[in-house]
């Protein structure tokens, strides 16, 4: 299983599973921590926001003081959120700890499951013992940079669809495109940006048509902002493109 930004956020939101993250490329975690505050307690520096705490164990000078800090954090759940939530503790470079300290962390994880959940990051897979792996969900970070091509693929499929007449068959194809897109994305903002950028840079389209397309997309965003059926929202944008680009499909 590969770790993505949305998957990590879901794990943190649901709080029903301790996980181990394996691999050296932890950009996904760093992206999560960009706006977190930096604090120091027990001579341990960590990042904190709401109920989430992140500690890079690789940078600790006295790792034994880590247990004191974790014990304090895990003493109770987060009472200050809108509902009672567990504390989320992210330990980066867990394999930098010695076996005795790691065992103390494991004991703390077992004893505080009612108040906290843990995300442990390992760079060295050989240090993940069977005792640890049997109690954690293990996910991997990609070794190579991840490029999401689904937005470009969806855009190209929409343009291909627009070059056909609007029929029962093309309506069915439009719905399939929308449902397939939302299987990989939480919203269509990046796709909408691509549509606007591509149409805006098309020299063959009249400026009025470009303006009408943007006006329609803006109106649809406002009308469907609270819709629970997101594929219908994107489907409506596609029908709007059919309407405005009906006589200009040759140059798309």
pLDDT truncated to tens, each residue of the chain (252 aa)?
678 888 888 888 888 889 999 888 888 888 888 889 999 998 899 999 888 999 999 888 777 789 999 999 999 988 877 778 899 999 999 988 888 888 899 899 999 999 999 999 998 877 787 777 778 888 888 665 555 688 999 999 999 999 988 899 999 999 999 988 888 787 888 899 999 999 989 999 999 999 999 999 988 888 776 666 778 888 999 999 999 998 888 887
Which among 80, 56, 82 is positioned nearest to 69, based on CA atoms? 56
pLDDT at residue 112, rounded to an integer: 92
What per-residue string of b and e applies to 13-39 under the rule 16 or more CB within 10 Å gives b?
eeeeebbbbbbebbebbeebbeeeeee
What residues contact 131, with CB distance under 8 A and at least 6 apart? Answer: 106
pLDDT at residue 174, rounded to an integer: 92
Query: pTM for the full model?
Result: 0.56
Q: Please state, in angstroms and rounded to a whole number, the distance separating the CA atoms of residues 84 and 82.
A: 7
Domains of the chain by range and CATH? 5-140 (3.40.50.300), 150-251 (1.20.272)
Q: Please state, in angstroms and rounded to a whole number, the distance separating the CA atoms of residues 184 and 181.
A: 6
Dihedral of CA atoms 222, 223, 224, 227 in degrees, nearest 10, equals 120
């Amino acid at each position: 299983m590969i770790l993505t930004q949305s998957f990590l956020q879901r794990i943190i939101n649901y709080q029903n599973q301790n996980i181990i993250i394996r691999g050296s490329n932890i950009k996904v975690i760093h992206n999560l921590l960009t706006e977190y505050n930096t604090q120091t307690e027990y001579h341990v520096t960590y990042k904190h926001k709401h109920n989430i705490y992140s500690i890079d164990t690789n940078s600790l000078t006295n790792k034994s003081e880590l247990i004191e800090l974790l014990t304090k954090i895990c003493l109770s759940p987060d009472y200050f959120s809108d509902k009672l939530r567990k504390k989320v503790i992210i330990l980066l470079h867990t394999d930098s700890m010695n076996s005795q300290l790691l065992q103390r962390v494991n004991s703390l994880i077992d004893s505080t499951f009612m108040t906290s959940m843990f995300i442990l990051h390992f760079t060295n897979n050989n240090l993940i013992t069977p005792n640890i792996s049997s109690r954690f969900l293990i996910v991997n970070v990609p070794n190579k940079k991840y490029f999401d091509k689904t937005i470009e693929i969806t855009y190209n499929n929409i343009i291909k669809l627009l070059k056909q007449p609007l029929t029962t068959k093309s309506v069915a194809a439009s719905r399939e495109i929308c449902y397939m897109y939302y299987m990989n994305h939480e919203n269509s903002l990046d796709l909408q940006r691509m549509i606007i950028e591509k149409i805006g840079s098309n020299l063959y389209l009249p400026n009025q048509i470009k303006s009408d397309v943007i006006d329609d997309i803006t109106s649809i965003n406002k009308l469907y902002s609270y819709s629970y059926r997101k594929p219908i929202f994107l489907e409506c944008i596609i029908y709007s493109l059919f309407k405005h680009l009906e006589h200009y499909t040759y140059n798309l």
